[in-house]
Chains A and B, each alone.
Chain A
């Protein structure tokens, strides 16, 4: 059974204080790891897909990396508008997405 664990559950940062969110996974045959951003009361917004260990992708202040056991979402010099819940999901040979419970990020001005 595929499993995804995200940590921490909640993270509070000061504006400009860089940090990382963790996504650990156990999966049979990883076909892709996905990061989404979700604002309160809205649907998840797609950020990145990573397919193999060592792969990295960047978008503005966000950078996602992947190893064989975990993925990190690095946030550099965050702004208050980066406040959201960040969801990690894995797509495996079972051909279904398995989601973690998310990290709720709050960036204080």
Chain B
């Protein structure tokens, strides 16, 4: 089955610790995205990547870092510089550039909690 997987489902971070969220897709999509979702708010874009070895900051990139070494993988690191990391993190992918293919498909999400 084609889809997007995220792991872990729950993640606990201690103060001062960096943690990495995994996102893998087997949809053969070129573009991948990371969003943050807080209660009562819309999804906010953290980082996105249109192609391997290239990525751009979204609206709330401070305190986060990403890499895109493989087409199917787009891990997100939440660094100690992110002072309010508690949120639901969503990864998505799409095939932009083709008419009608801007649709983004989402993974199941990772909930990050601070100890």
Chain A contact residues, CB within 8 Å of chain B? 4, 9, 31-32, 34, 36, 41-46, 49, 51, 87, 89, 91, 95-102
Interface magnitude class on chain B = 20 to 34
Cross-chain contact B103 with A99 (CB below 8 angstroms): no
Complex contact B90–A44 (CB within 8 A): yes
Q: Which positions in B face A, CB cutoff 8 Å?
A: 4, 6, 33, 40-45, 48, 58, 88, 90, 96, 100, 102-109, 111
Given known contacts A41-B111, A43-B107, A44-B106, A87 and B42 CB-to-CB distance under 8 angstroms? yes
- Nearest opposing residue in chain A for B107, CB measure: A43
Cα A49 to Cα B33 in complex, Å, equals: 18
Q: Give A52 Cβ to nearest chain B Cβ, in Å.
A: 12
